[in-house]
Amino acid sequence: MARDSLETSPPVETVKRELRRAILDHRLPPGTRLTEEAAAGHYGVGRTVVRTALLSLSHDGLVTLERNRGAFVARPDPREAREVFEARSLLEPRAARLAAQRAVPADVEDLRRHVAEEHAALAQGDTGSAVHLSGLFHTRIAEIAAQETIASFVRALVSRSSLVIALYWRRHDTVCESHAHHELLAAIGRGDGAAAEELMQSHLVDLLSGLDLSDRVKPVSSLAKALQG
């Protein structure tokens, strides 16, 4: 169950987790500048720790590093947004099929809980958490498929999808129609791999079609102190 094959030290791990969470919850909108010193002061650690965390996050595509300029929350352009979903539709349907074949009752229960939490978050209008939980659902499926390599890719892609959604989401009413997640859950629960693969595929197409990938730009919040929220 090693979520990170590479073991990193607790402080840098903490900062990485916190930053990732802040970005995925959209508390740090895409384009936000992340000053090393500011983050270091905020988390009470040295700059080196923050630097390490930022380097890791940049590998996952959540942060963009510009030489001698600093780190910014990644701002995927429409082309990259399309690529992310293209890649997901290559990996996740197969993962869903495998997950359906291999899931044990505990796994299904776990997924059921995820869906429930996601539904609750949506009901409360907490879209930030909803997007996050929705991503966790997809990630969990890849993990159940017991393909650690693919799962790590899916984790990275789901993370970036969160950024894409923050930038280009069109239908503000439904975040990730939990309808699709319910059906997926059912298919996996009854071990129907073919159905799960099919459902995942169409679910991803749905997600992509919910984006507005015209070339307009969204405003960039300049201040990193959004962390305070």
Partner DNA sequence: TCTTAAAAGATTGTGAACAATTGGCACGCG
Partner DNA sequence: CGCGTGCCAATTGTTCACAATCTTTTAAGA
202 binds, among its own copies, DNA, none (CB under 5 to 8 A by kind): none
Which of 10, 125 has the CB closer to DNA? 10
Which of 73, 164 has the CB closer to DNA? 73
Exposure b/e, 120-156, CB count within 10 A at least 16 = b:
ebbeeeebbbbbbbbbbbbbbbbbbbebeebbbbbbb
Q: Output the smallest distance, CB 72 to its own copies, in A.
A: 11
Helix (H) or strand (E) holding 73: strand 70-73
Q: Residue 63, interface with DNA (CB under 7 A)?
A: no
Distance, in Å, from the CA atom of 195 to the CA atom of 183, rounded to the nearest integer, reads 9
Q: Residue 45, interface with DNA (CB under 7 A)?
A: yes
Applying the rule CB under 7 A, the residues between 65 and 84 that interact with DNA are 65, 67-71
Residue 169 DSSP code: B
Closest among 34, 112, 99 to 71, alpha carbons compared: 34
Which of 58, 174 has the CB closer to its own copies? 58
37 binds, among its own copies, DNA, none (CB under 5 to 8 A by kind): DNA
Q: Residue 48, interface with DNA (CB under 7 A)?
A: yes
Given strand 70-73, what is the order of strands in its sheet? 33-34, 70-73, 63-66
Distance, in Å, from the CA atom of 123 to the CA atom of 130, rounded to the nearest integer, reads 9
Among residues 36, 77, 107, 206, which is the contact residue for DNA, using CB under 7 A? Answer: 36
| Residues at the interface with its own copies (CB under 8 A) | 5-9, 52, 55-56, 58-59, 61, 64-68, 80, 83-84, 86-87, 90-91, 94, 147-150, 153, 157
Q: Output the smallest distance, CB 51 to its own copies, in A.
A: 8
Sign of the torsion formed by the C-alpha atoms of 57, 30, 35 and 224: negative
Binding mask 104-143 for DNA (x = CB under 7 A): ----------------------------------------
Closest among 2, 143, 173, 168 to 84, alpha carbons compared: 168
Token pair in block for residue 74: 């990644």
Q: Which positions touch DNA (CB under 7 A)?
A: 9-12, 34-37, 45-49, 51-52, 65, 67-71
